[in-house]
Amino acid sequence: MDNDNATLIKQACADYDNDPRRMMDILWQVQDKLRCIDGEAMSLIASLTGTYRVEVEGVVSFYAFFSDKRKGDITIRLCDDIIDRHAGAQAVAEAFSGALGIQPGETSTDGAFSLEFTPCIGMCDQAPAALINDVVVTRLTPAKVKSILRTLRKTKDPQTLIGKTGDGANSDPLVQAMVRNNIRQPGPVLLTDVDPEQGLRAALQLSPQEVISHIEESLLRGRGGAGFPTGRKWRLAANTPAEERYVICNADEGEPGTFKDRVLLTEKPDLLFSGMTIAAYAVGARHGILYLRGEYRYLRAYLEETLQRRREQNLLGSGILGRKDFAFDIRIQMGAGAYICGEESSLISSCEGKRGEPKNRPPFPVQSGYLGYPTVVNNVETLSCVPRIMAQGATWFRGMGTTGSSGTKLLSVSGDCARPGIYEVAFGVTLAEILEQAGAQDAAAIVVGGASGQIVGRTEFHRRLCFEDLASAGAIVCFNSSRNILEAAAYYMDFFIEESCGYCTPCRVGNVFLKKGLEKIMHGEGEPEDLDYLRNLSDTIIATSRCGLGHTSPNPILSTMEYFPLVYSAMVKERPGGMQAGFNIQKALDEARIIAKRRSLIYDPAYGDRE
């Protein structure tokens, strides 16, 4: 390794006190500067941080945004989600490939460009979208690809691609993104113009216990997907005796089709940070972490500045708003492209500088989380509700929504609809009402909740979006009647195969077999018993996986089988004779024919005649 590189690496480690728990930050810095973290770099980082090379390599290999091979100076990551494909991503990918002379997954020989596919980057309402280094480009077309590459070749700086910036804070000098918020329907809780600190001031008048009681009374439930009662979570953490406690905000937003946290981070960062501060006050935490997905790095400087301003305004730091006994600060932890890091225990592993693998539970994070301390992990939207509840009261909050789901929910609507974007609605609204509002009258199938959610058909459009009925983190992906529902299910299975952390065999291997089983059906080779096989295998994966990824990964198949039985029954048929339709002897022999330079005595019938 040359001296310059070694100096850079030493600097990166020194910037984080050679602390292996800050491995994510160290690796980000090295990856940024050297465009890779190769073997020599890993060894050096390991020795500087007092850990083993295999530990470092374990982390590097885990995250999509880290690489042991050199990436191009400019890395283009194109979202290849089904939404983007429907919006023309294939042509965009071909345009990039053609113009750069490389395939997705490759780096140009001069080291200038890398092209990659990536799962959802949270821009579903402006697809096809891509990340060019940290810069987001949206609504891509083959024509735009040409001009993008022309600019990049000239300036070598992706930021120069941004002409007109998006609405709201997307045009903030520290954001400067072409991203649009697309807030279609503001609501009374989150997307409204209010003083974000009112709730914090109110909370600090109360005792921590009273704050928790308030949140309990509001019946606020987690917006990240699982719907766990937030008040109860806080109380569990507060009641666990410990010297330190942590509050972590989950801004990993990796569920395909979900982008509402991005809009909150852009438009309401103070509301969020205020919510984290209230949580910290309630549970007795001095430190907070915002775990920001790598894809949203374009928001980092803006969020850092917001935090800095809050410190200056005495909203963070010690003696917050004059409360001498209350000190709290927040650091931002960047993720690096791993869906599983949205799972709270993986997220904690990642914050600790490790591979983003889920931990065994119990102990739950509220008992033993970040560095072993009681930790509250809450979604961006959950925490953003908190100051509003403190300001307006639990009764006000409970007055919206349904009995089991109080308040409002942000929906991320995308796909085949006239008005994709963010809708803040009271819990309990029906799918049909949302589709009407979004201009998706011809919708034939809706993915509720993203890859891990449910793909439902028209028969279910009367159902209500709330924890008692269709529970989700709020993704609503619309497919019109021209879309192939099995193709969507197959894409989501590919997503899970790629994103499984690999710890449990049922998830790591089972999802591959599920996908194969689905493909067999899609190729018209399936039989009715294959449907039983898919069901049984799904049950096994759900029953034997360690974390929520494996518990939900069969959903695309299970829900399409449930809600689109006719699609499946049209694709499978009984095949008497006992032969497997999926086995193709001609294909299986092709290679051997070439190597042996002869034909098959058994399966090439003309063989005997011609010789």
Partner 1 sequence: MKRKKRIATVSLAGCFGCHMSLLDMDEHILELMELAEFDRSPLTDFKTFSRRCDIGVIEGGCCNEENVHTLQEFRKHCDVLVAVGQCAIMGGLPVMRNAIMHSEDPLRECLEEAYSSSAKVYNPNNQIPNDAALPLLLDKVYTCAEVVKIDYQIPGCPPTGEVLWATLAALIKGEPAPQEYHMIKYD
Ligand X SMILES: Cc1cc2nc3c(=O)[nH]c(=O)nc-3n(C[C@H](O)[C@H](O)[C@H](O)COP(=O)(O)O)c2cc1C
What's the Cα-to-Cα distance from 533 to each of 300, 515, 516, 564, 578, rounded to whole Å? 46, 12, 11, 17, 16
Please tell me the distance from the alpha carbon of residue 144 to that of residue 127, in angstroms, as a whole number.
13
Q: Which of residues 508-567 bind ligand SF4 (CB under 6 A)?
A: 508, 545-547, 549-550
Please tell me the distance from the alpha carbon of residue 38 to that of residue 303, in angstroms, as a whole number.
31
CA atoms within 13 A on the CB side of 567: 24
Q: Which of 340, 431, 445, 557 binds ligand SF4 (CB under 6 A)?
A: 340
Buried/exposed code over 184-202 (b: 16+ C-beta within 10 A; e: otherwise): bbebbbbbeebebbebbeb
Shortest approach of ligand X to residue 250 CB, angstroms? 4
Local structure of 184: helix, strand or coil: strand
What is the dihedral sign for C-alpha 516, 518, 523, 525?
A: positive
295: contact with ligand X by CB under 6 A:
no
501: contact with ligand X by CB under 6 A:
no
Structural contact between residues 256 and 119, judged by C-beta atoms closer than 8 angstroms: yes
> In terms of DSSP H, where are the helices of 63-141?
82-86, 89-100
Where does this chain touch ligand FES (CB under 6 A) — which range of 11-19, 117-125, 428-436, 463-471? 117-125
Interface with ligand SF4 (CB under 6 A), residue total 14
Interface with partner 1 (CB under 8 A), residue total 22
511: contact with ligand X by CB under 6 A:
no
Please tell me the distance from the alpha carbon of residue 311 to that of residue 211, in angstroms, as a whole number.
22
x-marked contacts with ligand FES along 63-92 as a string, rule CB under 6 A: ----------------x-x-xx--------
Provide φ and ψ at 33, rounded to 5°: -80, -45
Cβ closer to partner 1: 164 or 597?
Answer: 597
547 contact choice in ligand SF4, ligand FES, partner 1, none (CB below 5 to 8 Å, kind-dependent): ligand SF4
Where does this chain touch ligand X (CB under 6 A) — which range of 410-418, 505-513, 518-526, 543-551? 543-551
Q: Which of 9, 30, 115, 124 binds ligand FES (CB under 6 A)?
A: 124
Shortest approach of ligand SF4 to residue 356 CB, angstroms? 9
Q: How many angstroms from the chain centroid is the CA of residue 126?
A: 16
264 contact choice in ligand FES, ligand SF4, partner 1, none (CB below 5 to 8 Å, kind-dependent): none
Q: Which of residues 567-596 bind partner 1 (CB under 8 A)?
A: 577-580, 582-583, 585, 587-593, 595-596
Q: Which of 37, 280, 547, 558 binds ligand X (CB under 6 A)?
A: 547
Where does this chain touch ligand X (CB under 6 A) — which range of 221-229, 314-322, 419-427, 579-587? 221-229
Shortest approach of ligand SF4 to residue 287 CB, angstroms? 27
State the first-to-last Cα distance of the chain, in angstroms, to the nearest integer.
62
Interface with ligand X (CB under 6 A), residue total 22
x-marked contacts with partner 1 along 529-568 as a string, rule CB under 8 A: ----------------------------------------
Structural contact between residues 223 and 381, judged by C-beta atoms closer than 8 angstroms: yes
Q: Where are the beta strands (DSSP E) in 58-169?
A: 74-79, 113-118, 130-132, 135-137
Please tell me the distance from the alpha carbon of residue 273 to that of residue 192, in angstroms, as a whole number.
16
x-marked contacts with ligand X along 374-393 as a string, rule CB under 6 A: ---xxx--x-----------
27 contact choice in partner 1, ligand FES, ligand SF4, none (CB below 5 to 8 Å, kind-dependent): none
Q: Which of residues 232-261 bind ligand FES (CB under 6 A)?
A: 256
593 contact choice in ligand FES, partner 1, ligand X, none (CB below 5 to 8 Å, kind-dependent): partner 1
164: contact with partner 1 by CB under 8 A:
no
Partners of 134 in beta bridges: none
Structural contact between residues 13 and 48, judged by C-beta atoms closer than 8 angstroms: yes
512: contact with partner 1 by CB under 8 A:
no
Angle in degrees, CA 23, 29, 31, rounded to 5: 95
197: contact with ligand X by CB under 6 A:
no
DSSP H or E stretch at residue 62:
helix 53-62
Structural contact between residues 115 and 104, judged by C-beta atoms closer than 8 angstroms: yes
Please tell me the distance from the alpha carbon of residue 311 to that of residue 134, in angstroms, as a whole number.
26
Please tell me the distance from the alpha carbon of residue 428 to that of residue 413, in angstroms, as a whole number.
16
Where does this chain touch ligand X (CB under 6 A) — which range of 4-12, 27-35, 349-357, 542-550? 542-550
Shortest approach of ligand SF4 to residue 499 CB, angstroms? 7
Angle in degrees, CA 175, 269, 328, rounded to 5: 120
523: contact with partner 1 by CB under 8 A:
no
Structural contact between residues 63 and 336, judged by C-beta atoms closer than 8 angstroms: yes
Please tell me the distance from the alpha carbon of residue 543 to that of residue 552, in angstroms, as a whole number.
10
Shortest approach of ligand FES to residue 412 CB, angstroms? 9
Structural contact between residues 451 and 495, judged by C-beta atoms closer than 8 angstroms: yes
Please tell me the distance from the alpha carbon of residue 413 to that of residue 475, in angstroms, as a whole number.
6
Q: Which of 129, 149, 426, 507 binds ligand FES (CB under 6 A)?
A: 129
Structural contact between residues 463 and 225, judged by C-beta atoms closer than 8 angstroms: no
Where does this chain touch ligand X (CB under 6 A) — which range of 129-137, 508-516, 541-549, 594-602? 541-549
What the block records as the tokens of 47 is 């020795």
Where does this chain touch ligand FES (CB under 6 A) — which range of 120-128, 143-151, 381-389, 539-547? 120-128
Question: Rule CB under 8 A: which residues touch partner 1?
Answer: 577-580, 582-583, 585, 587-593, 595-598, 600-603
Chain contacts with ligand FES (rule: CB under 6 A):
79, 81, 83-84, 120-124, 127, 129, 256
Binding region for ligand SF4 (CB under 6 A): 340, 358, 500-504, 507-508, 545-547, 549-550
Contacting residues toward ligand X, per CB under 6 A: 222-226, 228, 250, 252-255, 340, 342-344, 377-379, 382, 547-549
